Amino acid sequence: MQIYLPIAEISVNIFLILGMGGGVGFLSGLFGVGGGFLMTPLLIFIGIPPAVAVATEANQIVASSISGVLAHWKRGNVDFKMGSMLLIGGVVGSTFGVWLFTYLKTLGQIDLVIQLSYVVFLGVIGGLMLIESINAMRRSKTSKPKRKHHNFLHALPFKMRFRRSKLYVSALLPIGIGLLVGVLSAIMGVGGGFVMVPAMIYLLGMPTAVVVGTSLFQIIFVTANVTVLQSVNNFSVDVVLAVLLLVGAVIGAQFGAKAGAKLKGEELRILLAIMVLGVCVKIALDLTLTPDDIYVLGNTGGH
């Protein structure tokens, strides 16, 4: 069954979109990532214009994150205080990111920057996570996990107590992470969960159970902001597409969150790492394999 999308201006199969929403929603509930880094390339692959894909995906992530965060909240796995600190950084970072995006667009190299950021960040994070979680699995079989080591990050000022996360760290840390993730999410058109989740686990040392809910909490606000900004600046949010995606995604996210509760932290991280690396390899191939045509349509900024 085909449906014509009013903003994307193409005709798509309803069940394909519902299925994509469901699949990505499942993964987002499972890993606490918005799923944007999977869905945005998928949407572009089926022919949605990139600008519409990025903006509409932000809108859909709002829905799946809310659905996910409520499920985690019920189990007490959202650290609102930590989330708020991340959010402060996120707002500042994404504002700067939007400015950077516009600047790179005038240089005409935004596509390359987006693709290279995907490869670099997905590659580094996926690789580190894979190595770390395999080591963690080995350790857990032989001995008790080692204590969190102290480093210079713990010497920073403005210390704050985060009860839910059982942490006493500088507020500058979560703000800094939020800042970095905000910049990335504006440039790469993603919620940023795939960067934030590992950062919270490895840099902050937060318990995995709390990380997912807290990450989703922050993503809600960042993507809601992006949705409104994109609507106003680029008219590129397609609500019809977003509704189709989110119907699939909110249902998928519920199943994902349930499945996630049955898996161990390390297993979850290995699966996420493999998926992140898969997307990384796909984009790296797109960049290096000889294209069908050496001429491509550029960005003329509307008709």
Partner 1 sequence: MLRYFCLLSLTLFGFISGPAVAPAVAMDLDVDLSKPDVRLNVSFKGAELLLFGAKDAAGDVIVVVRGPQQNKSVRLREKIAGVWVSTDEVIFGNAPAYYALASSRPIYEILPAAVMKSERIGTDHLDLQIKAKPDGATQQTIQDFTDGLVRIMIRKDLYTNEAGVIELVGKKLFRTDLWFPANVSVGEYTVNTYLIANGVVETKKTSHIQVHKVGIEARVYNFAHEQALIYGILAVIIAVISGWTANAIFKKRA
Other beta carbons within 10 Å of 272: 24
Q: How far is the CB of 38 from partner 1 (least distance, A)?
A: 18
Of 273, 251, 204, which is closest to residue 31 (Cα–Cα)? 273
Beta bridge partners of 12: 3
Residues 282 and 76: their CA atoms lie apart, in Å, by: 37
Q: Does 27 bind partner 1 (CB under 8 A)?
A: no
Q: How far is the CB of 283 from partner 1 (least distance, A)?
A: 11
Q: Does 46 bind partner 1 (CB under 8 A)?
A: no
Each residue 67-96 as x (binds partner 1 by CB under 8 A) or -, in order, gives xx-xx--x----------------------
Contact with partner 1 (CB under 8 A) among 53, 98, 250, 271: 250
Residues 184 and 181: their CA atoms lie apart, in Å, by: 5
* DSSP label at residue 263: S
Q: Does 208 bind partner 1 (CB under 8 A)?
A: no
For residue 138, what are its two tokens? 């080995």
Q: Does 3 bind partner 1 (CB under 8 A)?
A: yes
Task: Choose the binding region for partner 1 from 97-105, 144-152, 190-198, 240-248 (rule: CB under 8 A).
Answer: 240-248
19 and 251 Cβ atoms separated by less than 8 Å: no
Residue 146 CB-density burial (10 A; 0-12 exposed, 13-18 middle, 19+ buried)? exposed
Q: Does 230 bind partner 1 (CB under 8 A)?
A: yes
Task: Kindly determine how many residues on this chain lie close enough to bind partner 1 according to the rule CB under 8 A.
Answer: 58
State the Cα angle at 139 between 137 and 144, rounded to 5°. Answer: 120
Contact with partner 1 (CB under 8 A) among 95, 100, 231, 263: 231
Range 52-71, binding partner 1 (CB under 8 A): 59-60, 62-68, 70-71
Q: Does 239 bind partner 1 (CB under 8 A)?
A: yes
For residue 18, what are its two tokens? 């519902």
Rounded to the nearest 10°, the torsion over CA 101, 225, 23, 16 is -80
Nearer to partner 1, 118 or 162 (CB): 118
Q: How far is the CB of 141 from partner 1 (least distance, A)?
A: 33
Contact with partner 1 (CB under 8 A) among 18, 229, 259, 281: 229
Q: Does 277 bind partner 1 (CB under 8 A)?
A: no
Q: What is the CA radius of gyration of the chain?
A: 19
Q: Does 287 bind partner 1 (CB under 8 A)?
A: yes
266 and 137 Cβ atoms separated by less than 8 Å: yes
Residues 3 and 12: their CA atoms lie apart, in Å, by: 5
**Contact footprint for partner 1 (CB under 8 A):** 2-4, 6-7, 9-11, 47, 59-60, 62-68, 70-71, 74, 108-109, 111-112, 116, 224, 227-232, 235, 237, 239-240, 242-243, 246-247, 250-251, 253-254, 287-288, 290-291, 293-300, 303
